[in-house]
Structure 1
Amino acid sequence: MSDAKALVAGHWQWSGWLTPKGRVIALFALLKIDEENVWLLLQDADPAEFAARLRKFLFRSKTAIAVREDLHAIGSFATGAARGAALAIDADEVELDMSGAAGARTLRLSASATIPDADAEALARWTAFDLAHGLPRLPASQSEQWTPQQLSLDRLRAYSVKKGCYPGQEIVARTHFLGQAKRGLVLLESERPLAPGAQVEHEGKALGSIVSAVQAESRTLALAVLPLDAPTAALHADGAALRALALSEGLAR
């Protein structure tokens, strides 16, 4: 959805892949390591399946698409060497600044670092940080369901309405220039578990549905696609009361 050619080497941005109908298949961070190498850091999609689908579009024999099985992603809630959209590249390690208004956060991609034990609580906190800043996490059930506008990806500068030649571009641009976007993301909080796909209701009327959800620190955070003029009080999903929160800024790159 965004232009890799316009991306400066040593920098990264949010991007994604759309169906011809303008629905988001997957979101990812697009890293331009140098003039010859571009990495796609997938948030949720299966990398092997994603790579196989991309290879169908290869027309140049000198271009190769491969899954980096040797790399590991290590996140920390701390300030690192990277700043903003600039990558910190050192030998076999690449670092991204994934901070936002809620605090510092760093993601390190390494082929040599010692991998810490899995920490479900830390992973849930990381996902909650994403959702709080308006970065949807798309499980398989939500793939190919939503347009970039419905996912409010303009907040992350994750798509372009001027660059042509990507699947779904015509629909995305038409929606933008004709002002037809009527839905967007709303951040919700609940004391009960929530699941992607659950309907969000107001006074018994369905308004939209939940796209992403995570339980973290005795509460559930969720992102839902709702009408832009939807009420923010007296919302429910699966019988659970919901409270609308303001989305945090600072995760755009």
Structure 2
Amino acid sequence: MISLHGADASRFAQAQFMGDVDALQPGHWQWNGWLTPKGRVIALFALLRHDADSLHLLLADAEPEGFVAALSRYVFRSKLRIAHETGLSVSGRFGPAEVAAGSAFAGAASPVDLQLDFGGAGGPRTLAVTTGAAPDDPGAAARWRACDLAHGLPRLDAEQAGQWTPQQLSLDRLRAYSVKKGCYPGQEIVARTHFLGQAKRGLVRLGAETAIPTGDVFSPEAPDRTAGTVASVAGNEALAVLPLESGDGPWLAGGVACRRLQLLDGLAR
């Protein structure tokens, strides 16, 4: 959990992040992200607005201390403090939220005792932020990650950061970026790609009988020509960046035969 607190917190976030922070009402959250100047996704996160002076980012995969250090370089004279909220635990469970619903989260102005509705077409899920120790269940964590991928939420490991544009990751499905708000790093490339219809690739959900490795994806009909790349893996499922007109496959990823699976809806906020 990363906090942005101060008189310029909202203005700073609006200028740095790819989603429309100004459109977010207090007590609600959205998917958002931070891009390189070339429009590549550095990190994805849930952005929570408590009020104009207090925002929190829930990082899924980015290393928090490095993220804070990199983002802090752009504060300059803005009146805000960016900090990694240590001493907190984040846990998820496969069940409905008691008080949170949709984009409306439940909790105080601090990052303690927050509850977010992570449900979608794959069923109800609840994310909670507390000060207590989170349960350690690797099996449930793997199932959670697979559910993220099934809904089109890519989990970007360190080697994938800075590799993909929002369009290549189909982040329009999550309403995670804006092409209409003011400038932010990478905005010109994102907007040009959108308005000129230059998006040629997007996410495809793949499934296999065995674990899918990261790396290039090939069509059996053209095994010497790379068709795309696996961007995120969860056991026997993966999200690959492939041409929009790629069809249903089959595909080969690291020699593993894969089939196309339907992306689930309902995780947009």
How far did 1:51 drift?
Answer: 0.3
Residue 105 of structure 1: aligned partner: 125
Does the residue aligned with 1:65 lie in a helix, a strand or coil? strand
What does residue 208 of structure 1 align with?
Answer: 228
Shift of 1:115: 2.5
Q: Paired residue for 2:25?
A: 8
Quote the Cα distance in structure 1 between the aligned partners of 2:134 and 2:241: 36
Residue pair 2:230, 2:240 contacting (<8 A) in 1 also: yes
- One-letter code aligned to 1:189: G
> Aligned residues, how many?
246
1:20 pairs, out of 24, 37, 40, with 37
Out of 115, 121, 130, the residue aligned to residue 134 of structure 2 is: 115
Q: What secondary structure is seen at the aligned counterpart in 2 of 1:101? A: coil
Query: Which residue of structure 2 aligns with residue 233 of structure 1?
Result: 249
Mapping 1:189-208, distance limit 5 Å: 189-196=207-214, 198-202=215-219, 203=221, 204=223, 205-208=225-228
Q: Which runs of 4+ in 1 moved over 6 A?
A: none
Identical-residue share of aligned pairs (%): 57
Shift of 1:209: 0.5
What root-mean-square deviation, in Å, do the aligned CA atoms of Structure 1 and Structure 2 show? 1.2
SS of the aligned residue for 1:103 comes to coil
SS at match of 1:32: strand
* Partner in structure 1 of residue 85 of structure 2: 68
Q: Within the alignment, does 1:223 sit opposite 2:230 as a pair?
A: no
Structure 2 counterpart of 1:79, from 75, 80, 96: 96
Give the distance between the partners of 1:93 and 1:4, measured in 2 at CA.
Answer: 23
- Structure 1 Cα separation of the partners of residues 177 and 52 of structure 2: 21
CA–CA distance in 1 between the matches of 2:79 and 2:193? 36
SS of residue paired to 1:122: helix
Q: Helix, strand or coil: the match of 2:129?
A: strand
Normalising by the residue count of structure 1, what TM-score does the alignment of the two structures yield? 0.94
Say if 2:213 and 2:253, in contact at 8 Å, map to a contact too: no
Q: TM-score, normalised by structure 2?
A: 0.89
Give the deviation of 1:114 after TM superposition. 4.3
> How much has 1:172 moved relative to structure 2?
0.2
Unaligned runs of 5+ in 2: 1-17
2:179 to 146, 161, 177: 161
Decide whether the 8 Å contact of 1:95 with 1:108 is kept in 2: yes
Q: How big is the shift at 1:5?
A: 2.3
Whole-angstrom distance in 1 between the partners of 2:86 and 2:56: 13
